[in-house]
Amino acid sequence: VTAPAVLDVHDLRVSYAGAVQALRGVSLSVPEGSVVAVLGNNGAGKSTLLRALSGTLPAQNGAVTGGTIAFAGREQPRDAAAIARGGLVQVPEGRRVFSNLTVEENLRAGGLAAPDKAARAEARAWVDELFPILRERATQRAGLLSGGEQQMLAIGRALMASPKVLLLDEPSLGLAPKIVERVGEVIREINDRGVTVVLVEQNAAMALSVADHAVVLEVGEVALQGTADELAESEAVKERYLGVP
């Protein structure tokens, strides 16, 4: 028995500058409480999918040109702030923290999207527990943290908004293998607390090790989808994404 979908994407189409069609009719369903991995090569449309979900397509040239997104059974509003307050929160690619602000200030900024004070306090206690290093570095400027610490801060900042669904864009990018492993564990811990996760990754091995379901995008279309175990066993995935000859 599969849990009901918290996020339902149907025939989603996105174009940039009216010309490049980055998503050509993508449908996928994210069961509540699951981790869904989105795999694919550079330019396959993974980031575009996340940006469409979080309402953060670049306003000057990106647009949803067709299809529907339903979040918690309702049609998704188009406004990014409303989407975040509703519980769909994105951790952007390249762990974009506010480098001139302190760790503490970054976390507070994340808390602005929390539904209320109680939720914010609860999230803060959880973030402190998940990332003790952030408490130690509370007064340091975020730009001075290591890459791994910045990724933890970017995740912590998103958790401060009490997400129902967390969208992660390539959290392992540029990190040492040990840190990538830690990121995987953190994703599991977050999911164990009931947060649904959509994980965009080029590191297919890491993504499939933490995900329940996975979707492979190729040139803006869903090429494969199934359980993470099925995809990890698929010859096409092994050959193209896991580097197994």
Q: Which is nearer to ligand ATP, 159 or 200 (CB)?
A: 200
User: Footprint of ligand ATP on residues 162-221 (CB under 6 A)?
Assistant: 202
42 forms part of the interface with ligand ATP (CB under 6 A): yes
Piece of the chain touching ligand ATP by CB under 6 A; list 28-36, 44-52, 146-154, 189-197: 44-52
Whole-angstrom Cα distance, residue 141 to residue 134?
A: 11
46 forms part of the interface with ligand ATP (CB under 6 A): yes
Whole-angstrom Cα distance, residue 172 to residue 200?
A: 10
Buried b or exposed e, range 4-38, using 16+ CB within 10 angstroms:
ebbbbbeebbbbeeeeebbbbebebbbbebbbbbb
Residue 241 beta carbon to ligand ATP: minimum distance, rounded to whole angstroms: 12
User: Footprint of ligand ATP on residues 48-67 (CB under 6 A)?
Assistant: 48, 58, 61-62
Residue 56 beta carbon to ligand ATP: minimum distance, rounded to whole angstroms: 11
Whether 9 and 27 have beta carbons less than 8 Å apart is answered as yes
Whether 99 and 141 have beta carbons less than 8 Å apart is answered as yes
Residues touching ligand ATP, count (CB under 6 A): 16
Whether 32 and 38 have beta carbons less than 8 Å apart is answered as no
Q: Which is nearer to ligand ATP, 170 or 212 (CB)?
A: 170
